[in-house]
Amino acid sequence: MSTVSAGRLAKIFVEVADTMVDEFDLIEFLQMLGDRVAGLVDGATVGLLLADAKGRLQFMAASDETTKLLEMFQIQGSDGPCLDAFRGGAPVVNADLRAAAARWPRFAPVAASVGFRSVHAFPLRLRKEVIGAMGVFGRQVDDFDDTDVQIVQALADVAAIGLLHERAIRRSEALTEQLQGALNSRIVIEQAKGVIAEAHNVTVDVAFELVRAYARRSNRRLTDVAQLVVTDLPALPDLARPDERFRR
């Protein structure tokens, strides 16, 4: 990935550093970070985890659904590269998943079985504190050289610093407030998926697509739409009415 142009890289860094927006949304920000990193590395997918107030890693964002499941699997199984990067505070790079069964007995076989060959994980660091981890998954063995590692780690560092400087608050409590709010928003999204799945008689995955498509169409935030779905569905007539195309 060292072939990425300096211009493109600079653009991504500016984007990741720009957290001083009016309505900062932690999940959207991490989603953007994941998408940008995935775009840097050919064929890679990216997942992001942050530690909650109890110090437990929580899934925050992923560039695709399979990666989301793999990240959640790491948290549940308590083994995997992201956990190692989080605990050790240092990158874990160039791991060949076919040769990693001893290192991650639960994670490695599952990741290999869904088609991944390599994995890299980077800590999200804030000064001396590790606040989370980012996993980069590849379907080929695609080793990072030192420059690649430095670039991705620098992006992760810029993102972590940006999180604290969000809204220019220097209070240490600000990140906790944001993170706990974001975790609750994720729950609202899951509840909204259930509401739409039941109302439209579709699977929860199709329900998520319906909610997401509606949010895009109406140019509203996913979390705001999800909140309305659960608390006041009649206010969203387009979503309240079952769409025949998605009937099971």
Partner 1 sequence: MDDEFADGAQRAATPPAQPLMAGDEVEPLRQVCADAAHALDACGVGLSVMTTDGTHGMAAASDPVTARIEELQFTFGEGPCIDAFTASRPVLISELGPAALRRWPVYTPAVTNAGIRAVFAFPLQVGAARLGVLDVFRSRAGPLSRVELGEAFTFVDRAVTTLLDGQERTPAASEGPNGLDRLDEAFNHGAELFQAQGMVMVQLGIPIAEALVRIRAYAYTEGRPLREVAADIVARRLRLDHDRHGDGA
Nearer to partner 1, 32 or 72 (CB): 72
Nearer to partner 1, 136 or 229 (CB): 229
Task: For the CB of residue 59, give the shortest distance to partner 1 in the complex, in Å.
Answer: 9
CA distances for 170 relative to 18, 27, 161, 176, angstroms: 16, 20, 11, 12
Which residues, including other chains, have CB under 8 Å from residue 55's CB and lie 6 or more apart? none
Across 208-219, b (16+ Cβ under 10 Å) vs e yields: bebbeebbeeee
Nearer to partner 1, 17 or 215 (CB): 215
Q: Which residue has the tokens 């060959």?
A: 117
93 touches 87 (CB < 8 A): no
Query: Site for partner 1 (CB under 8 A): how many residues?
Result: 41
Considering only residues 53, 99, 101, 114, which one is a binding residue for partner 1 as defined by CB under 8 A?
Answer: 53
Binding of partner 1 by 197 (CB under 8 A): yes
Six-digit token pair at 194? Answer: 């259930």
Is beta strand 92-96 parallel, antiparallel or unpaired with respect to 118-126? antiparallel
Task: For the CB of residue 48, give the shortest distance to partner 1 in the complex, in Å.
Answer: 16
Considering only residues 4, 75, 112, 161, which one is a binding residue for partner 1 as defined by CB under 8 A?
Answer: 75
Task: For the CB of residue 237, give the shortest distance to partner 1 in the complex, in Å.
Answer: 10
Which residues, including other chains, have CB under 8 Å from residue 14's CB and lie 6 or more apart? none
> Where in 136-195 is the site for partner 1 (CB under 8 A)?
171-173, 176-178, 180-181, 184-185, 187-188, 190-195
Binding of partner 1 by 66 (CB under 8 A): no
Task: For the CB of residue 13, give the shortest distance to partner 1 in the complex, in Å.
Answer: 28
Binding of partner 1 by 94 (CB under 8 A): no
Nearer to partner 1, 153 or 178 (CB): 178
Q: Which pairs count as long-range contacts for 87-91, CB under 8 Å and 24+ apart, including other chains? A: 87/130, 88/123, 89/123, 89/125, 89/130, 90/123, 91/120, 91/121, 91/122, 91/123, 91/149, 91/152, 91/153
Query: Would you tell me which residues interact with partner 1 (CB under 8 A)?
Result: 52-56, 72, 75-76, 171-173, 176-178, 180-181, 184-185, 187-188, 190-199, 204, 226-227, 229-234, 240, 242
